[in-house]
Structures are given as structure tokens and as C-alpha cells.
Amino acid sequence: MSSLKQSSENTISEKFIQTRKSTLELVKTLEKDDFIVQTADYMSPPKWHLGHVSWLFEIVLSKTQKNYDFYSKEFSDYLNSYYNQFGKPFDKSKRGLMSRPTTDEVLDYYDIITEKITNSLEKSKLDQQSTYLYTMAINHECQHQELLVYDLQNLLAGNYRPVKKNVMPQTSQIKTFSTKISGGNYELGYSGKDYCFDIELPEHRTYLNDYRIDTHPITNKQYLEFMSDGGYTDYSLWLSDGWELVKKNNWSSPMYWENEKGEWFTRDFLGKRKINPSEPVNHVSYYEADAFCKWAKKRLPTEAEWEKAALWNEEKQRKTIFPWGNESPTPDHANLLESNIWNCAEIGSYEKGKSPNGCYQMIGDVWEWTSSEFMGYPGFKSGFDEYNDKWFTNQKVLRGGSFATPAISIRGSYRNFFRLDERWMFSGFRCAEDI
Ligand SMILES: [Fe+2]
């Protein structure tokens, strides 16, 4: 199985130690009180994230060592997110109601598990299955780093103090706003030899018509035009379920936006500030993305269209792992967690990260909604029961990663998925059109 090989660039234990360090860095400046608060049903308290990622490493230990004894039944009960195979999952909406285990106990637990795994990785030579499980658990922790950032935005926004903070990169003038991609057969899925999630495999043939796709994510400026043209008041633009939500929740803008005397502001890690027209629109649901596309007389790309625009080089007739080639992401390529910008970069940033088709910022900044239903590719084989496969219903695929995605965990073939109404994550979109 090609997905089982570990990356040649770093050993698995280096990746593990680095991942644990960056998780702790994300919570380093939090007050003790911040660790236990759950501000909404869909978010989790920082304490829970730290415990849960450690518990998942205990699951790996239990699957790779004989007679493994879990650290504590109380911890295991609280930290089981949704795995029925390991007992009764803890009610997600009540994660913030638990004062025990305490934050200090969870932080100690975090260190204890770090040490246990470090020892186990150093001592034993891993077989193929153990390598897969450890690598999956590292990638799982990367996913929770990103979820933790969404939750810190919800909990603290401008009151959060990142350990490192960099300024926005320089932007280039975008000359072409959409690009034509030739159709035909396209091999969709992960084409490399390192780790990927089971849902990115197998790479398989799809057929595409010719299409056009935007060279940049939809900006706040474009989205404001949709809003001021009655986007949120015209039922004819909306899917029926979306229109029900607009009415029920009084949606009139993306999440976190506030109107003051006719001017739009947002509250994010940069504090309360005026909407920057040049940034990609963020915090929109699938329904909003879809309504915008209808208003613009375009549509969302399918995930195959998105991936081909990102990874296919027509001239060289080859596909790469990232839009810029096969080199791992650096802060010159994309706005990811390690860029420490804590915000979307303006469109036209990251010239070096452009795809051969001329598309900017396909990796990083915002996850991009696609019109594709989240389901297994033809020939899908589950790598771990209940991790991905039980979510193959009522979710759409998003591609490309966000400014909170750790660089070691992103690839052009990465498939994220959310329900159509969710918008607390960093979600935007670009449009496609038939030609
Ligand atoms: Fe998880």
C-alpha cells in the first residue's frame, strides 16, 4: 500500500515531537480559565483537544502493544469523540461542562503520553501497520491543531496572543481572473508515495468537460457586491435548505461580520477591524457559496475540477503533489499555520505557490467548498474504522487547507469535509463555469 510509507524528509519520531511541540505552542499563552470553556456545541474546549489527541495515541498503543493499559478510564471516557468501538462516546455538547479531569491533569497527561510515544518510537522498529497508525495519529493531531485554532477564534478572537506573528506577504497584481482548463481524463486522488488519508485513495480516472475556474478565491469585495445586490434576501438564489437557514438564523453576512452604521466589520485574530476587500471571503457555509455562484451565473467546481486546476501541468503532462511541484510547502508557497499570519493573505499573494494553470492560493488561506459530495472514491478501503468512512453522508468536500492547516499535513489531494451549514471553520470558495 503506497500510503503506508513514511516521508523520507523527516523520521516519524521527529514529526511526532514537532507536532506535540506546536500543539503546546498554540495553548502557551492561554489563561487557565480559557482551557475549559465551550462557546458553542460545535467547538471544543482547548483542554479537551489536548486530551483527545493524546488519547488517540493511546489507542495506537493499544493496537500495537500487547495488553496495553490505558492511563485512566475516567480520561478515556471523557476523551472519546465518536468511536463506538472504544466505548460510549462522550456527548460533544457537554465537553465544556467537565471540571474534571482538571486542566493541570490533562496537561500532565499530555506530557506523559508524549514521553510514552517517544520511547515507543525510539525502542521498537515499526512494522508497516504500526507506521501507518502512528502517522495517522500525527496527522490526526494536526487536524486538531487546526480545529483548536477555529475554536480559539470563536472563544477569544483578538484576545488570543499567538507566540509568533508575522506580517502579511507582498501581493502581485493578478492579470487574469479566470483560466480555461482542458477536459478529458484526469486521475483524481493522491499520486505520491508518502502518507495520505484513506479517503484520498485510490487514484482513479474521471472524465471532465472543458471548464473555466477562477484564478483566486472569491474576495470580500466580490462578496460585498453579492450582499448589496440583495444576495441574502432573494430566495431564488438559494437552495431550499439554505434559504430556511437564512430565515431561521437571520443570516445577512458571513459569520463574525458585524454591521455598524452601514459599514461591515469582522472580529478575528487581528481584532475588530473593517472588512478588507482584498482578502478571500471567509466563514461562509456551502449554502452561501452556492448562492453567490448562482448570483454570479457561475457554479462551484467539482473536486476533480479543483484538483486538476491545482495539480495538473498541461505542458509537461504531469501531476504534482502541490500546485508548485513536489517540494514541501514553505512560507514562500502558501499561507499555512507555520506562516504565523493568523489571517488570510490578500489575493495575488504567493506567486511562488501558483499552479501551472495560473491559480493562486489553492493551498492555504481558506478551505474551498466544492460541489462534490463527500464519499469514498471507487475502490475505497478504510484505513481505520469510524475515522472517515462513517461520515460519507450529508457533507461536501473542501479542498486546499487554510491559514491554520499545519504544513506537514496538507497536500493537493487532501479532502476535508463539513456539513453544508457549517461556517465556523476557515471556509471560502472560488467559482467555475462551463464553456
Ligand atoms: Fe479527533
What tens digit of pLDDT does each residue of 255-285 get?
A: 999 999 999 999 999 999 999 999 999 999 9
In whole angstroms, what is the distance from residue 145 CA to residue 149 CA? 6
Set of cell numbers at residue 243: 434559504
pLDDT at 168: 87
What distance in angstroms lies between residue 365's CA and the mean position of ligand 1's atoms? 22
Q: Are 338 and 363 in contact (CB under 8 A)?
A: no
Average pLDDT estimate for 280-304: 98
What distance in angstroms lies between residue 260's CA and the mean position of ligand 1's atoms? 38
Q: Are 154 and 424 in contact (CB under 8 A)?
A: yes
Average pLDDT estimate for 369-374: 98
pLDDT > 50? residue 146: yes
The tens digit of pLDDT for each residue in 51-97 reads 999 999 999 999 999 999 999 999 999 999 988 988 999 999 999 99
In whole angstroms, what is the distance from residue 34 CA to residue 25 CA? 15
Confidence of residue 173 (pLDDT cuts 50, 70, 90): confident
pLDDT at 1: 34
In whole angstroms, what is the distance from residue 280 CA to residue 217 CA? 6
In whole angstroms, what is the distance from residue 390 CA to residue 25 CA? 32
| Percent of the chain at pLDDT exceeding 70 | 98
3-state secondary structure of 206: strand
In whole angstroms, what is the distance from residue 196 CA to residue 133 CA? 12
Write the CB contacts of 317 (distance below 8 Å, at least 6 apart in sequence). none
Average pLDDT estimate for 33-62: 97
pLDDT at 124: 77
What distance in angstroms lies between residue 52's CA and the mean position of ligand 1's atoms? 7
pLDDT > 50? residue 391: yes
Nearest to 83 by CA among 109, 63, 64, 104: 63
Q: Are 301 and 242 in contact (CB under 8 A)?
A: no
Amino acid at 323: P
Set of cell numbers at residue 84: 463506538
What distance in angstroms lies between residue 172's CA and the mean position of ligand 1's atoms? 38
Nearest to 342 by CA among 29, 44, 48, 26: 26
Q: Positive or negative, the Cα torsion across 409, 411, 417, 421?
A: positive
What distance in angstroms lies between residue 30's CA and the mean position of ligand 1's atoms? 21
Q: Mean pLDDT lowest for which of 18-22, 171-175, 296-300? A: 171-175
Helical ranges in 266-331 per DSSP H:
286-295, 303-311
- Mean pLDDT across the chain: 95
Burial class (CB in 10 A: 0-12, 13-18, 19+), 425: buried
CA distances (Å), 167 to each of 302, 331, 344, 388, in order? 33, 12, 11, 36
What distance in angstroms lies between residue 185's CA and the mean position of ligand 1's atoms? 35
pLDDT > 60? residue 221: yes
3-state secondary structure of 181: strand
pLDDT at 10: 64
Find the distance separating the first CA and the last CA of the chain, reported in whole Å. Answer: 38
What are φ and ψ of residue 287, in 5° steps? -60, -40
Amino acid at 7: S
Q: Positive or negative, the Cα torsion across 221, 227, 228, 229?
A: positive
Q: Positive or negative, the Cα torsion across 347, 350, 356, 361?
A: negative
pTM: 0.96
pLDDT > 60? residue 6: no
What distance in angstroms lies between residue 142's CA and the mean position of ligand 1's atoms? 10
Q: Are 36 and 49 in contact (CB under 8 A)?
A: no
pLDDT at 125: 84
The tens digit of pLDDT for each residue in 308-334 reads 999 999 999 999 999 999 999 999 999
Helical ranges in 34-127 per DSSP H:
46-64, 73-79, 103-123
Q: Are 38 and 152 in contact (CB under 8 A)?
A: no
Q: Residue 43: enclosing H or E segment and its boundaries? A: none
Confidence of residue 7 (pLDDT cuts 50, 70, 90): very low
pLDDT > 60? residue 398: yes
pLDDT > 90? residue 425: yes
Q: What 8-state DSSP symbol labels residue 296?
A: T
pLDDT at 174: 81
Measured from the Cβ of residue 191, the count of other Cβ atoms closer than 10 Å reads 20
What distance in angstroms lies between residue 170's CA and the mean position of ligand 1's atoms? 35
What distance in angstroms lies between residue 49's CA and the mean position of ligand 1's atoms? 8
3-state secondary structure of 89: coil
What distance in angstroms lies between residue 371's CA and the mean position of ligand 1's atoms? 25
Confidence of residue 123 (pLDDT cuts 50, 70, 90): confident
What distance in angstroms lies between residue 340's CA and the mean position of ligand 1's atoms? 23
